[in-house]
Each structure stands twice: as C-alpha cells, then as structure tokens.
C-alpha cells in the first residue's frame, strides 16, 4: 500500500529552498510513503497519526490519514 504525500504551505516553502529536493521527495516516497508508521518514526504527544521522522537528515513532522491513504507533511527542519 502506498500513501500519497502532500506538503502544507510551510513545509512546501522549506522544500523549495532545499538543494536536494528531488532526492528528498524520492526518499519520502520510498520510506514514509510506503509505511508512515515505520522507518523510525515516533508518535508526537501520544497521537498515533501525528508523527515525526528523519529522512535524509531532515526532521519531518507529518499527519497520517489512513482513510484516504495520505501523509500530510506540515513541517520540515532541514540542517543548515
């Protein structure tokens, strides 16, 4: 099962500034997009569908919507 990955405006703005954006999108699809509850992700504040993971050195905060198979990335914290 593959999840569609969408980016909220703040995350999309950060992604646009990243030099490795294509590689990051590919890594997101290969990891979080295939298993949003795996790949070393952790629940945030005890909410199962509110997750945090690190992908290619970028901290990713996202929400999982299992009913529509969508991951919404709300924040990216990229290394300087």
Task: Tell me the pLDDT tens digit for each residue of 31-45.
Answer: 999 999 999 999 999
**In a domain? residue 3:** no
Residue 25 three-state SS? helix
Domain membership of residue 5 (yes or no) is no
Percent of the chain exceeding pLDDT 70 equals: 99
Residue 29 lies in a domain: yes
Domain count, the chain: 1
For residue 60, the model assigns a pLDDT of 98
Is residue 36 domain-resident?
Answer: yes
Whether 4 is in a domain gets the answer: no
The model's pTM: 0.93
At a CB cut-off of 8 Å and minimum separation 6, what does 31 contact?
Answer: 38, 39, 53, 55
Q: What are the pLDDT digits (tens) for 1-19?
A: 899 999 999 999 999 999 9
Domain of residue 26 covers 11-77
* 1 lies in some domain: no
């Amino acid at each position: 099962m593959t999840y569609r990955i969408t980016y909220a405006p703040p995350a999309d703005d950060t992604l646009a500034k990243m030099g490795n954006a294509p590689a990051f999108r590919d890594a997101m699809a290969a990891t979080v997009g295939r298993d949003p509850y795996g790949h070393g992700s952790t629940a945030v504040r005890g909410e199962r569908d509110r997750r945090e993971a690190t992908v290619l050195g970028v901290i990713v905060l996202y929400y999982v919507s299992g009913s529509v198979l969508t991951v919404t990335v709300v924040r990216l914290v990229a290394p300087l």
